[in-house]
Amino acid sequence: DTEVTQTPKHLVMGMTNKKSLKCEQHMGHRAMYWYKQKAKKPPELMFVYSYEKLSINESVPSRFSPECPNSSLLNLHLHALQPEDSALYLCASSQDYPAVTGELFFGEGSRLTVL
Amino acid sequence: RKEVEQDPGPFNVPEGATVAFNCTYSNSASQSFFWYRQDCRKEPKLLMSVYSSGNEDGRFTAQLNRASQYISLLIRDSKLSDSATYLCVVNPGGGSQGNLIFGKGTKLSVKP
């Protein structure tokens, strides 16, 4: 079982809805990430938080809004999404940022469908 | 040239076969290299790091060739449970250190 838990596992939303994805880890990791993965594509980095501060925003549209309430939690707020935003959203954590050991611990993902 | 390139496959092999994947990277200053495994509709998981001297973990051997800028993964005595997509991952170092770059993955299907 993964030590990074994500909820919900599946989410269907309309383009006018507001929803949130949640991620939690209790490994004491200081870095947390959001990735987006489309079918048959590699994960694409969206955001990195290090010590609860946003370190990286890979030019993600503002309809995606990350939040890190504390070192164990990471949220992704969704508003006014487009159908092309449908994808698997993966949360990950690592001991530190940069992840010098290269080991990211991924959650099982939240599969998002935008209608 | 893409930053990290892999043959997407699929590689269809019988149980017990030996199979090898290669991955090339464009940034000669890249710092470190990894193989991740991703099962269908599951999350990626670190399989092994890749060291300059080469490293082995059971049936899996990873090698790095810095001169030619490629890494490889060899799987011996393939099992059905090895069926997955294998992602080559590179830490480019420099100003973007920490932003791991994922290849598109090579799909392996091991048949009975």
Identity of residue B24: T
Q: Does A3 touch chain B (CB under 8 A)?
A: no
Q: Which residues lie below 8 Å from residue A113, measured CB to CB, with a gap of 6+?
A: A10, A11, A12, A13, A86
- Chain A residues close to B42, C-beta within 8 Å: 108
Looking at residues A20-45, what average pLDDT do you find? 95
Looking at residues A28-50, what average pLDDT do you find? 94
In B, minimum Cα distance to A41 occurs at B104
Is 90 exceeded by the pLDDT of residue B97?
no
Tell me if A99 and B46 make a contact (CB, 8 A cut-off): no
Phi first, then psi: give them for residue A84, nearest 5 degrees: -70, -10
Residue B107 CB: number of other CB atoms within 10 A? 20
Q: What is the pLDDT of residues B32-80, one digit of tens each?
A: 899 999 999 899 999 999 988 889 999 999 999 999 999 999 999 999 9
Is 80 exceeded by the pLDDT of residue A8?
yes
- Chain B residues close to A109, C-beta within 8 Å: 43
Higher-confidence residue: A72 or A2?
Answer: A72
pLDDT (0 to 100) of residue B1: 61
Q: What is the pLDDT of residues A43-92, one digit of tens each?
A: 999 999 999 999 989 999 999 999 999 999 999 999 999 999 999 999 99
Tell me if B100 and A107 make a contact (CB, 8 A cut-off): no
Among the listed ranges A16-25, A100-109, B52-61, which one has the minimum average pLDDT value?
A: A100-109
Joined tokens for residue A111: 């599969």
pLDDT (0 to 100) of residue A40: 87
Residues of B with CB under 8 A from a CB of A: 8, 32-34, 42-46, 49, 87, 89, 91, 97-100, 102-105
